[in-house]
Amino acid sequence: MAMLQFFIAVDVTVVNVALPSIGAHFGVDGHALTWVVVGYTITGGGLLMLGGRLGDLLGRRRVLLLGTTVFGAASLLAGLAPSFAVLVAARLLQGVGEALALPAAMSVIVLLFPEGPRRSRALSVWAAVASCGLVLGFVVSGFLTELLGWRWIFLVTVPFILAVLMAAAVLVPGERPSGGAPLDLPGSLLLVSAPLLLTFGVVEAGEGGAGGGRPPWLAPVALVGAAVAGALFIGVERRSPNPLVPLRLFRNRPRVLANLATALLSAALSTSFVLFTYYLQDRLGAGPLRAGVTMLPLAVTLIAASVLVPRVLERRGARTCVLAGVCCTALAMAAIALVAHSGATGPAMIPAMVLIAAGMCLGIVGLQYVAVSGVTEEDAGIVSGVQRAADQLGGSTGITLYVGLGFAPTLHGTDPFLASTFLALAGLVVAGFVTWRISVPTEVTAEPVS
């Protein structure tokens, strides 16, 4: 499960430093290249809850194997793509595979490890592996793009996904499907459409009408469409006999607050990765390989923090753990703004990277623990899907809003790093307030390990 999580996380960031090479190969501009990044994350995040529901209905092992197969096939297609349109389609298909595989994988972990120290350790490993995958994606992309070419950032994943398939087929226990209730396909479509329209609208608004001859009404129409899709999603869920997200899940106030805080925290964390890359490559002129290597302290700190987080979670409780993570992330964003404003060298970003690593481990693991606490076997898949969707959609929306608006051409004369970090800090203040309102037992029960 951790290997699968790692390579899915790698594919979130592995394209970033390779984008110039992809654009040069296919002759497309930066505006079109945006969809190579957000198409994957938004499609995957928007369909995660459908994937979780499929796992509950059809069996987690079956959906896990299906999603892993789709993800591996899409990775191969992306590496062999003859045109830019095929590459974008492959990235969207990768998102579909992720949406099927990840909730099933997380629900397997939740059901195999009971609440207490065993589950906190399992979730810490899960989160640490995902975080390392996100960071190492930059390093892997730098090496492969410079040495072998951009296609290998996708092709290198294929043999490892085959290994995951073989291991999962042997090690993951099967179970009987719960039934053949109809799926909420309209709700799934609306959940994907809303963030995609929001992303398109924000990018167009930031361009300020300088988008290569596109009409100026595209941005407001897309933003209105995003709001309408969101409202329709709520209406569909209320009336559907088999909703994608059962409204009874929202009666659990700690779980709702945990997912909201997850989205806000992930928005800032994902923004920090982009800001690190922009500063090292655009401001300092570092190449892809050098920029990726400079971010290695972030990955090393993530590994070290993953060892300590279970102890903090057990001794101090989930809410204290999350608040510490939010504070570390806020300090990191302030440090990014200070370094960017002073024009310091790349190593000056290392303290911010260390703080981001601590914030990610403390915050995300603590919020995952709250989100899945008390879950039943019937709802394990959908609850896991909701939590993962909050994480991934929060991250992609954060990049769209914080980086998209901060670096928009319409903000002439404003330091984009200061603007982006200010927006992220505002979101973190809200995340801290939401976390403070989570009223759950702060102690993780130290139940015996059987």
Q: DSSP states of 180-232 as a string?
A: -PPP-HHHHHHHHHHHHHHHHHHHHHHHTT-STT--TTHHHHHHHHHHHHHHH
Question: Mean pLDDT: which of 200-209, 260-269, 272-281 is highest?
Answer: 260-269
Whether 449 has a pLDDT exceeding 50, the answer reads: no
Q: What average pLDDT does range 182-203 have in this prediction?
A: 80
Convert the pLDDT of each residue in 383-401 to its tens digit: 777 887 788 888 888 887 8
Determine the pLDDT at residue 213. Answer: 58
Single out the residue of 330, 285, 449, 138 nearest to residue 322, CA to CA: 330
Contact 142, 31 (CB under 8 A): no
Question: Mean pLDDT: which of 35-44, 129-138, 150-159 is highest?
Answer: 150-159
Instruction: Name all domains of the chain by residue range, CATH numbers in brackets.
Output: 2-174+244-436 (1.20.1250.20)
Convert the pLDDT of each residue in 155-178 to its tens digit: 988 999 999 999 988 888 777 665
Determine the pLDDT at residue 443. Answer: 44
Contacts of 420 (CB under 8 A, 6+ apart): 271, 275, 402, 403, 405, 406, 407
Convert the pLDDT of each residue in 216-253 to its tens digit: 778 889 889 999 998 998 888 888 877 877 777 777 88
- Whole-angstrom CA distances from 182 to 153, 176, 383 are 38, 17, 18
Residue 443 DSSP one-character state? S
Determine the pLDDT at residue 327. Answer: 95
Whole-number percent of the chain with pLDDT over 70:
90
Determine the pLDDT at residue 248. Answer: 76
Average pLDDT in the chain = 82
Contact 99, 67 (CB under 8 A): yes
Q: pLDDT band at 29, cuts 50/70/90?
A: low
Q: Which region among 64-73, 231-240, 299-308, 349-358 has the lowest average model confidence (pLDDT)?
A: 299-308
Determine the pLDDT at residue 117. Answer: 78
Whether 371 has a pLDDT exceeding 80, the answer reads: yes
Determine the pLDDT at residue 12. Answer: 75
Q: Which of 267 and 310 is assigned the larger pLDDT?
A: 267
The position carrying tokens 């024009």 is: 343
Whether 212 has a pLDDT exceeding 70, the answer reads: no
Q: How many helices (H) and strands (E) does the chain have?
A: 18, 0
Determine the pLDDT at residue 136. Answer: 76
Determine the pLDDT at residue 440. Answer: 60
Q: pLDDT band at 93, cuts 50/70/90?
A: very high
Single out the residue of 113, 93, 90 nearest to residue 101, CA to CA: 93
Phi, psi angle pair for 315, to nearest 5°:
-90, -35
Determine the pLDDT at residue 381. Answer: 65
Query: What percent of the chain is helix, strand and coil (3-state, nearest 5)?
Result: 80, 0, 20
Distance from C-alpha of 48 to C-alpha of 382, rounded to nearest angstrom: 9
Q: What average pLDDT does range 329-358 have in this prediction?
A: 92
Single out the residue of 409, 403, 278, 405 nearest to residue 349, CA to CA: 278
Distance from C-alpha of 328 to C-alpha of 358, rounded to nearest angstrom: 7
CA atoms within 13 A of residue 179's CA, in its CB half-sphere:
5
Whether 376 has a pLDDT exceeding 80, the answer reads: no
The position carrying tokens 């060892």 is: 307
Whole-number percent of the chain with pLDDT over 90:
23
Q: pLDDT band at 446, cuts 50/70/90?
A: very low
Whether 208 has a pLDDT exceeding 80, the answer reads: no
Determine the pLDDT at residue 442. Answer: 44
Convert the pLDDT of each residue in 95-115 to its tens digit: 999 888 888 887 788 778 877
Whether 326 has a pLDDT exceeding 90, the answer reads: yes
Determine the pLDDT at residue 448. Answer: 32
Single out the residue of 177, 205, 336 nearest to residue 268, CA to CA: 336
Single out the residue of 117, 107, 172, 111 nearest to residue 450, CA to CA: 117
How many other β-carbons are positioned within 10 Å of the β-carbon of residue 327? 17
